[in-house]
Homo-oligomer: A and B are copies of this chain.
Amino acid sequence: MALFDLLGRRWVMGILWTLSEQGPCTFRALQSLCETISPAVLNARLKELQAAGFVRKSSDGYLVTDLGLEVYEALRPLSNVSKVWAKALGEG
């Protein structure tokens, strides 16, 4: 349940997803990929994710750890669900 508490915060899943798909990103690159995130929140989330061991810094910028990659893998099925969901909403 602590995991839900961490992931259930704005942008957290989006940041993990973006970093996993795009690879290492600089702070500003992440900021522009997330489009509307404010730097204060991005910085806070990056600190939380680093404390959790899901993300770390390297010379190329921020990247996901092996542990963070597991979260991403666990989250990937949601991609299919979102397609089914979009279709269902369109029909309903």
Q: What number of copies of this chain does the assembly contain?
A: 2
The number of chain A residues with a CB under 8 A from chain B is 32
Min CB distance, A37 to chain B, in Å? 12
Q: Which residues of B contact A8 (CB under 8 A)?
A: 7-14
A17 in the interface (beta carbon within 8 A):
yes
Q: Which residues of B contact A75 (CB under 8 A)?
A: 74, 78
Which residue of the partner chain, among B11, B52, B53, B92, contacts A53 with CB atoms under 8 Å? B92
CA distance A86 to B83 in the complex (A): 32
- Nearest opposing residue in chain B for A2, CB measure: B82
Min CB distance, A91 to chain B, in Å? 10
CA distance A86 to B3 in the complex (A): 9
Query: What are 10 A-B contacts defined by CB distance under 8 Å?
Result: A2-B86, A3-B78, A3-B81, A8-B11, A9-B10, A53-B85, A53-B88, A53-B89, A67-B88, A74-B78
